[in-house]
Amino acid sequence: MKVVWTREDDIRGGYYRPAFVHRVQVGVGGRGVPVAWDHVLVGQSIFAGTPLEAVVVRNGIDGTSVEGVAGSPYLEGVPARRVSLHSPRTAIPVQPWRSVGHSHTAFAMESAIDELAHAAGRDPLEYRLELLEDHPRHANALKLAAEEAGWGTAPPQGRARGLAVHESFGTVVAEVAEVSIEKGRIRVHSVTCAVDCGTVVNPLAVEAQMQGSVAFGLTAALHGKLTLIDGEVQESNFHDYEILRMFEMPSVAVHVVPSNAEMGGIGEPAVPPVAPAVANAVFALTGQRLRSLPLRLA
């Protein structure tokens, strides 16, 4: 006998990605480079109360909650930096979501870096490259993605580009998203990816995972929202819990960075940069800074 939940039961009775809030305060010096960084994260631990708590949670800190912020290459050169975590417990059952903590920390970090670049009046690519001067894998991935996407040239009328780079699971992925606004909604036309995953065994598998990760990440960035009222999830199926449709799928170009680095993962690392790349492109196009997910225009 095979017993399978209905989709309604699955959406309303499953485990969920934990909600997180970030507060980032940055002090800058010459050329807008950070000299002080105070970063506070608030969100539920995915391992507290599970058999893995004793392994993953150390001194009250779930490492997956802060991965992507703690140890970020952007923070290594900041003289005064502090990362704080608060892990409230709620009745909502949570489990890991594809790319785990990186799914929200990449959005916070790459959005903040983009804001700092614009506040300093500097090109977002050039600004990142200065901060990542001692991190050639990140810099090389950024350069390749930007070059292949045509960064520095004018996009088609009514469109703009945004970029992001993030490392997770031993792999660095840079992405450039080209977007427009159609009938008040964000439309992503293309995503150019550069990936440094160390030694590549199967290039076609790398390309397929990157493409699938972009689709998966865009679903969350543009649509993925659940509403709880009195402890009950309101959405029930794909008519009110939308996923990316075929007509919304952008063209995805994948470029592998030649690398001698240790082999990294490829199934998850392309998810984290998608949302911030799109949000940064929306800012370049409209001047609206979108700081929450899913992305919604004012």
Domain boundaries, the chain: 7-286
pLDDT tens, residue by residue, 83-120: 999 999 999 999 999 999 999 999 999 999 999 999 99
pLDDT class for 275, splitting at 50, 70, 90? very high
What would the mean pLDDT of 170-194 be, rounded to a whole number? 97
Instruction: Say what the pLDDT of residue 14 is.
Output: 87
**CA angle, 120 then 126 then 129, to 5°:** 115
pLDDT class for 164, splitting at 50, 70, 90? very high
Distance CA 21, CA 220 (A): 16
Instruction: Report helix angle 124-131 to 136-149, nearest 10.
Output: 160
Residues 46/90, Cβ–Cβ less than 8 Å? no
Residues 200/209, Cβ–Cβ less than 8 Å? no
Topology of domain 7-286 in CATH is: Aldehyde Oxidoreductase; domain 4 (3.30.365)
**2: Cβ contacts below 8 Å, ≥ 6 apart:** none
